[in-house]
């Protein structure tokens, strides 16, 4: 790679050992992808996991003097105050979360603890070069905003934030942003939930950059786009997609494919949607123990929808709604939180379903509208029925799903 004098100085340790570590990693990534140079970034998002390896890496860089040049937003662990006050988390995990908080605060991160910063707190402009980790974030900023990021890991995104640079390869280059799979959607797309299930068909779509046709414009909300990207990266690995006539780099099919013919064509039907749901969800009539929403984090509009549905009623089962602290604060100010709490539910800020704070749910069966939410907690012995949001709300009110 050809480095500028500043980049070489970083690598040589003139900006400290921590920055040298970060630049060494960035250069190694660039060389592995045959990148010719480094380019500056203006934004970053670090998908911290609140796990020991992630914390070790951040503390190592911090202890060697590293600081972020570009302030990154960060993913959630769990809200320490909320779960400690309710005695829901073991001391060793509370300590890990506190250390994670301290390390990312000291290194210069913006402690948003939110997995959907691309919706309201860290929104890039068209063409902006960024370094975003988080499985739902990268396709959203590439596809929806037309900004540019490769599928960074938490550690490489942190290194980018520290150095202010990323190697130029992959989705940062015009030629690599063109679609190569034509995906004709013949399934009925009625609501945001349907985009969750559509995204779970990654195995049928196959590797590449899909270009979706047949999606009704009136159903393409920010929540639908969030769901599509999140599930594409649960069922496969996608840094970008296009929607004909909607996303900025796909106003026409010719534009989306760069004037070339697609490598293959895939048709997705109602039968495909039904088959994948049967594969990923518990089935049959059953009692549920809880409902969980917000993986990725729910928006204020979704919280309003739930509040309207349960106002003046009593939930038969626990309901956990995971949001950013921004959405939680808006819900409190607008009286939505009061409605939900009165019904027996909780809006939980800054928290992910794949965290040790949910130990009381081990061995239980929940209901959710998100396959991603159902996927990650399986390793903690928590299992889910997956249904549309209104069916989930009804199940929380009655205690059962059919």
> What pLDDT score was predicted for residue 386?
98
pTM: 0.97
Instruction: Please calculate the CA angle 32-34-39 and round it to the nearest 5 degrees.
Output: 100
Q: How far is residue 137's CA from residue 116's CA, in Å, rounded to a whole number?
A: 7
Residue 298: per-residue pLDDT: 98
pLDDT tens, N- to C-terminus, the chain (402 residues): 999 999 999 999 999 999 999 999 999 999 999 999 999 999 999 999 999 999 999 999 999 999 999 999 999 999 999 999 999 999 999 999 999 999 999 999 999 999 999 999 999 999 999 999 999 999 999 999 999 999 999 999 999 999 999 999 999 999 999 999 999 999 999 999 999 999 999 999 999 999 999 999 999 999 999 999 999 999 999 999 999 999 999 999 999 999 999 999 999 999 999 999 999 999 999 999 999 999 999 999 999 999 999 999 999 999 999 999 999 999 999 999 999 999 999 999 999 999 999 999 999 999 999 999 999 999 999 999 999 999 999 999 999 998
R_g of the chain, CA atoms, integer Å: 21
Could you tell me if residue 11 is left (phi over 0), alpha (psi between -120 and 50 degrees) or otherwise beta? alpha
Sheet holding 210-213, edge to edge: 242-243, 210-213, 181-185, 264-268
77: CB partners within 8 A, 6+ apart:
48, 49, 50, 97, 100, 101, 113, 350, 351, 352, 355
Strand partners, 265: 182
Residue 383 has a pLDDT of 97
Pairing of strands 43-46, 38-40: unpaired
Three-state DSSP state, 6: helix
Q: Which residues pair with 298 in a beta bridge?
A: 323
Which domains are assigned to the chain? 5-174 (3.30.499), 178-278 (no CATH), 281-401 (3.30.499.10)
Cβ–Cβ under 8 Å, residues 75 and 155: no
């Amino acid at each position: 790679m050809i480095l500028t004098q500043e980049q070489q100085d970083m690598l040589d340790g003139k900006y400290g050992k921590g920055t040298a570590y970060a630049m060494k990693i960035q250069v190694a990534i660039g060389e592995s992808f045959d990148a010719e140079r480094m380019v500056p970034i203006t934004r970053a998002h670090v998908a911290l996991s609140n796990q020991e390896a992630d914390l070790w890496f951040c503390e190592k860089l911090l202890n060697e003097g590293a600081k972020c040049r570009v302030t990154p937003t960060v993913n959630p662990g769990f809200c320490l105050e909320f779960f400690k006050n309710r005695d829901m988390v073991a001391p060793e995990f509370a300590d890990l979360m506190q250390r994670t908080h301290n390390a990312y605060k000291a290194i210069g991160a913006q402690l948003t603890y939110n997995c959907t910063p691309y919706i309201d707190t860290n929104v890039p402009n068209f063409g902006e070069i960024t370094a975003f980790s988080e499985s739902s974030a990268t396709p959203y900023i590439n596809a929806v905003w037309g900004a540019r990021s490769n599928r960074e890991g938490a550690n490489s995104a942190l290194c980018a934030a520290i150095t202010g640079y990323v190697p130029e390869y992959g989705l940062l280059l015009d030629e690599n942003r063109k679609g190569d799979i034509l995906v004709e959607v013949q399934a009925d797309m009625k609501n945001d939930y349907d985009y969750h299930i559509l995204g779970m068909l990654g195995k049928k779509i196959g590797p590449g950059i899909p270009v979706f046709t047949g999606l009704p414009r009136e159903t393409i909300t920010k929540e639908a786009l969030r769901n599509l990207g999140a599930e594409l990266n649960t069922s496969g690995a996608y840094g970008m997609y296009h929607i004909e006539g909607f996303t900025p780099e796909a106003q026409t099919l010719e534009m989306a494919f760069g004037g070339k013919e697609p490598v293959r064509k895939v048709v997705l039907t109602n039968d495909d949607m039904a088959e994948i749901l049967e594969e990923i969800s518990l089935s049959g009539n059953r009692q549920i123990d809880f409902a969980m929403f917000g993986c990725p984090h729910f928006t204020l509009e979704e919280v309003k929808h739930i509040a309207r549905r349960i106002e003046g009623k009593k939930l038969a089962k626990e309901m956990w709604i995971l949001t950013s602290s921004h959405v939680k604060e808006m819900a409190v100010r607008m009286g939505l939180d009061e409605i939900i709490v009165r019904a027996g539910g909780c809006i939980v800020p800054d928290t992910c379903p794949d965290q040790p704070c949910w130990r009381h749910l081990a061995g239980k069966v929940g209901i959710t509208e998100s396959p991603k939410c159902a996927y990650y907690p399986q390793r903690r012995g928590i299992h889910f029925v997956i249904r549309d949001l209104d069916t989930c709300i009804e199940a929380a009110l009655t205690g059962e799903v059919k």
